[in-house]
């Protein structure tokens, strides 16, 4: 019959065993970190390869609430400012140096001018 757990004597590991366990733990941790690092690099390379084949990219977008937003998209080497709601509207064709804020202001003033002409 086996002695119960409460009757067993607990032995403390000797310092040599403790040191061996620590060294083993360090080696295991090192290998796990190396594996994770390689896996992360591989995922990044796959992401780059996947995106390299695409010619359409979303560069920036801002939500305007109520399922409306504006966005800057790039198609090959051209950039466009679009408005998205229940439909998609081209607000402006951007030069590569034009920043988002400047294009937004130009589109807003253009839309106000178009409204003023329509009301007249």
Q: How is the chain split into domains, by residue range? A: 13-52, 56-119
Look at residue 82 and tell me whether its pLDDT is greater than 90.
yes
Q: What are the tens digits of pLDDT across the range 9-52?
A: 666 666 776 777 788 888 899 999 999 999 999 998 888 777 67
C-alpha 39/C-alpha 47 separation (Å) is 12
C-alpha 46/C-alpha 34 separation (Å) is 18
Query: Dihedral angle at the C-alpha atoms of 90, 84, 111, 119, nearest 10 degrees?
Result: 110
């Amino acid at each position: 019959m086996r002695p119960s757990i409460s009757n067993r004597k607990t032995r403390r590991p000797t310092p040599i065993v403790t040191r061996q366990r620590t060294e083993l733990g360090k080696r295991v941790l090192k290998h796990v970190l190396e594996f994770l690092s390689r896996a992360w690099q591989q995922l990044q390379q796959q992401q780059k390869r996947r995106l390299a084949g695409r010619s359409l990219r979303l560069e920036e977008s801002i939500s305007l609430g109520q399922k409306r937003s504006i966005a800057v998209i790039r198609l090959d080497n051209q950039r466009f400012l679009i408005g998205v709601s229940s439909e998609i509207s081209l607000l402006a064709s951007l030069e590569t140096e034009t920043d988002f804020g400047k294009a937004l202001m130009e589109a807003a003033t253009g839309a106000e001018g178009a409204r003023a002409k329509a009301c007249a």
